[in-house]
């Protein structure tokens, strides 16, 4: 990790924290790299059953991209190292095998809301504001705000945010389906951890399979998931064992459809 992104694992819960509160947790390329590294690390820890995604500070969960970090980039670097890379990182987070619970300790704006959308569940503190104001600075959501967020909350909620540019309060976000719970200011992380602990007490394989199937229903990694399940199913059949024996003994296998 970096000074601005931390990953902590305690038992079955991994907590991924943005740590740049003085800049309202605005994202840099180094932070995107660290988020990608964290996702890879989580995948390598079979004991992890749920992830909490949160941030330090009391004002903002994340206000999106650090404008100073990308404003001076040449167009190709903007695409390669910023828009495309960020999109890949957020997809990696959204496709983690275990559920992710986001604790919005403050405002989730632009890329910050897109980051929150990578989570399976979102818990917002009451003072938070949410929005997609990119059109107001002549840009557009670039990290799946018009795609994944539409799948999560529906097209009308995203239209209201992205076309008008207004920030909405947490209760409105709850009514629009952008968050799942609203809690008192200062209690978001505790509530998210409690939800993650509930998830961790469920049968882990069942939870992970259910998450993947819901992702498929939303159009998230549909083809990849179908291939993964097909490979896992066929790998443990009697025919698969017979095929392996035949390969090792250099003789034709006798498949029986079991």
Point out the residues that are catalytic: 114, 134
Residue 79, phi then psi, degrees to nearest 5: -70, -50
Residue 112, phi then psi, degrees to nearest 5: -70, -40
Do 91 and 138 touch, CB atoms closer than 8 A? no
Task: Kindly report each contact of residues 180-184 with a partner whose C-beta sits within 8 Å and lies 24 or more positions away, as own/partner.
Answer: 180/121, 180/122, 180/123, 181/121, 181/122, 181/123, 181/124, 182/123, 182/124, 182/125, 182/126, 183/123, 183/124, 183/125, 183/126, 184/125, 184/126
Range 104-139 burial, b when 16+ CB lie within 10 A, else e: bbbbbbbbbbbbbbbbbbbbbbebbbbbbbbeeeee
């Amino acid at each position: 990790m970096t000074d601005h992104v931390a990953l902590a694992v305690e038992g079955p819960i991994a907590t991924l924290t943005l740590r740049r509160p003085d800049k309202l947790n605005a994202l840099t390329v180094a932070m995107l790299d660290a988020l990608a590294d964290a996702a890879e690390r989580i995948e390598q820890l079979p004991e992890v059953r749920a992830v909490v995604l949160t941030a330090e500070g009391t004002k903002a969960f994340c206000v999106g991209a650090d404008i100073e970090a990308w404003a001076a980039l040449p167009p190709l670097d903007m695409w390669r190292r910023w828009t495309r890379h960020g999109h890949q990182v957020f997809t990696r987070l959204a496709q983690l095998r275990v559920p992710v619970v986001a604790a919005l300790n403050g405002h989730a704006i632009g890329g910050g809301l897109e980051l929150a959308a990578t989570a399976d569940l979102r818990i917002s503190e009451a003072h938070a504001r949410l929005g997609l104001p990119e059109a107001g600075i002549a840009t557009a959501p670039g990290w799946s705000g018009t795609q994944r967020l539409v799948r999560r909350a529906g097209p009308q909620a995203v239209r209201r945010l992205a076309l008008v540019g207004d920030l909405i309060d947490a209760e409105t976000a709850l009514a629009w389906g952008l968050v799942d719970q609203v809690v008192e200011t200062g209690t978001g992380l505790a509530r998210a951890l409690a939800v993650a602990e509930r998830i961790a007490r469920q049968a882990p394989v069942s939870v992970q399979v259910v998450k993947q199937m819901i992702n498929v229903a939303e159009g998230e990694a549909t083809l990849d998931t179908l291939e993964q399940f097909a490979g896992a199913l066929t790998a443990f059949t009697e025919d698969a064992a017979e095929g392996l024996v035949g390969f090792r003994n250099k003789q034709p296998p006798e498949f029986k459809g079991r």
